[in-house]
Amino acid sequence: MNIKEIMEDNIEDYSSVISDDVAENMERMYFRGLACHDDDDNIQSAIIWELRSVEKDTDTEARIECVYAENPDSLGTLLEEYHNQATDEDVVRTFFELTSLDDKVGSALGGCGFDVSSVESRDVIIPVSELRTLPLMKKRPPDYVKSIADLDLKSYHQGIMKILFKDDVSAMEDLSYIPKTWFEQDVSCYVTTDDKVNGFLLVHEFPSGILMPVLYNATGPDFLKDLAYMMIYSIAWAAKKHPDAKVLVRRRNKNVAAMVGKLFPGKKGFPAMAGKREE
């Protein structure tokens, strides 16, 4: 068996085992990948992970985004190499939450030192058609809410940096490095106050067509109103451009979970397998 590094240049070679939705992240700063090949160069197992809290004062962690295992032995070999690479990058612990994991792979991960359990996924899927029925959709957003398609790069970066000065506002650690084109240009929107960008609702469209809000934040005295207007604007555009699409909302902290609970009471995530391991 031999271990190969998965990178942006060779990710296409793994298209049969790694979904496009995960694969597109290989161009991002903190995504890493490893694959285990047999002597005939067939892919036996693969793993993609994202580093978290890399340049913060808290422990660096790794979140596994995708695991593929043709056979459990190869996964063990792969995870040993993963451990070496992770510790080189000061990763203290590794965790995962995956809805697509089968029991065989879950057991294999348990055998490799992960503390595995069944959980409700933190991701909630909501059809765009259901979003359109929200009570707040009766209001019209003002003209200072606009699509990011209209926004020049300098103003985009200025707005992003202003918001990132607040901690833990984005689902993406490397947001300040992500190009504007990563986001759906019409559904993603921003607000301005005194000609300066002070709020964003950035939505990424995965290759599979799923929409995922990545940044939803505003600053200034009217931030609550601005947040509501941006949501109305984005939903309206999503309904126009992607009427049959689904939106993936990641309940990554208490605030987001509370908002989802309020807007969509009773909405639950899919069953998933979660695990954790100290490195």
Among 99, 102, 177, 243, binds another protein (CB under 8 A): 177
Segment interacting with another protein (CB under 8 A) among 34-42, 124-132, 186-194, 233-241: 186-194
Q: How far is CA 63 from the centre of its chain?
A: 11
Q: What are phi and psi of 272, to 5 degrees?
A: -145, 165
CB of 169 to another protein, least distance (A): 10
Q: Looking at 10-135, list the stretches that DSSP marks H as alpha helix, in order from N- to C-terminal side.
A: 20-23, 72-88, 103-111, 128-131
> Under a CB-based contact definition with an 8 Å cutoff, are residues 230 and 192 in contact?
no
Q: What binding mask, one character per residue, do residues 220-249 give for another protein by CB under 8 A, x or -?
A: xxx---------------------------
How far is it, in rounded angstroms, from Cα 14 to Cα 241?
31
The two tokens of residue 242 are: 């992607």
User: Does 139 interact with another protein (rule: CB under 8 A)?
Assistant: no
Q: What binding mask, one character per residue, do residues 31-70 give for another protein by CB under 8 A, x or -?
A: -----------------------xxxx-------------
The two tokens of residue 270 are: 């899919």
Give how far Cα 202 sits from Cα of 11, 136, 192, 227, Å.
26, 19, 15, 12
CB of 202 to another protein, least distance (A): 16
Helix axes 103-111, 72-88, angle to 10 degrees: 50
Among 81, 173, 184, 205, binds another protein (CB under 8 A): 173
Segment interacting with another protein (CB under 8 A) among 43-51, 168-176, 250-258, 265-273: 168-176
Interface with another protein: number of residues (CB under 8 A): 29
Helices (H) and strands (E) counted in the chain, each on its own, are 7, 13
DSSP-derived secondary structure letter, 184: -
Among 196, 207, 209, 252, binds another protein (CB under 8 A): 196
CB of 152 to another protein, least distance (A): 12
Question: In the complex, which residues of this chain contact another protein (CB under 8 A)?
Answer: 54-57, 142, 144, 154, 157-158, 161-167, 173-174, 176-177, 192-194, 196, 198, 219-222
